[in-house]
Structure 1
Amino acid sequence: RGTGEGTTNTLLKEGDEVVAVGMKGLEAFRTPFGLDQASGPRYFGFDIEYVPIEELVAQRRTP
Structure 2
Amino acid sequence: MLNNLESSYDCSQASEDLHSLRLELESLISGSSERSPEEQEKINRIENQIRFIANKCGIEPHPS
Instruction: Output the TM-score relative to the length of structure 1.
Output: 0.28
State the structure with more CA Rg.
1
Which protein is richer in helix relative to its size?
2
Q: Which has the higher contact order (CA 8 A, sep 6+)?
A: 2
Instruction: Output the TM-score relative to the length of structure 2.
Output: 0.28
